[in-house]
Amino acid sequence: MKTILAALALTTALTFPGIAMARPVTLTTTLKDYGGNGAYLAIYVTDPKGAYAGSLWMAGTKSKYYEHLSDWYRATGGNTAEINGITGASVGAGRRLEITLDLADALFDAGYTVHIDAAAEDMRDSPNEIAVPLTAEGAGQSVPGRRYIANFSYGM
């Protein structure tokens, strides 16, 4: 279990000058017991057109393994400046990752989507394991993952 209170300085794409309204959001990711080493998770947001908008969290500290988070890696070119200050340890099988951060109100109900890429050593790469639209209605609803993630939800 991991709780992080990040007064998140999201990248420029996610800041909306003038609309300084933001609310604390908690992202909860629970992993399956997949029987491998700790999983690397990249949590990031895409805009209504599907383009990369910014990163929320990176679980896993060794940048040489980021290429296995293939969608995130392709979108960012593996640029670690994208996750500066929002990086933590990889998440063990069966463990839960809980992050609390401030997200701009403007991101909700506007076509933005939260994605999670996941990978574990010597096991399958699982890009886009989670893709959930950010809506006020969707808050608190649990979404299952495909390979590593048992369920994911965000709550306000």
63 binds another protein (CB under 8 A): yes
125-133 and 113-119 strand pairing: antiparallel
Minimum Å gap between C-beta 63 and another protein is 5
- Which among 5-13, 17-25, 32-40, 108-116 is the span making contact with another protein, rule CB under 8 A? 32-40
Provide the β-strand partners of residue 149: 31
The yes or no reply on residue 33 touching another protein (CB under 8 A) is no
Least Å from the CB of residue 26 to another protein = 26
The only residue of 2, 95, 96, 147 in contact with another protein, by rule CB under 8 A: 147
Residues between 2 and 31 that touch another protein (CB under 8 A): none
* DSSP notation for 14-42: G--TT---EEEEEEEEEE---SSSPBEEE
- Sites for another protein among residues 82-121 (CB under 8 A): 89, 121
* 48, 142, 146, 155: which one binds another protein (CB under 8 A): 146
Q: Residue 43's closest CA among 117, 94, 106, 111?
A: 117
Q: Are 57 and 48 in contact (CB under 8 A)?
A: no
Is 67 within 8 Å of 111 (Cβ atoms)?
A: no
* Ranges of H-type helices in 36-106: 70-76
Instruction: Write out the residues near another protein by the rule CB under 8 A.
Output: 35-37, 50, 61-64, 67, 70, 73-74, 77-78, 89, 121-126, 128, 146-147
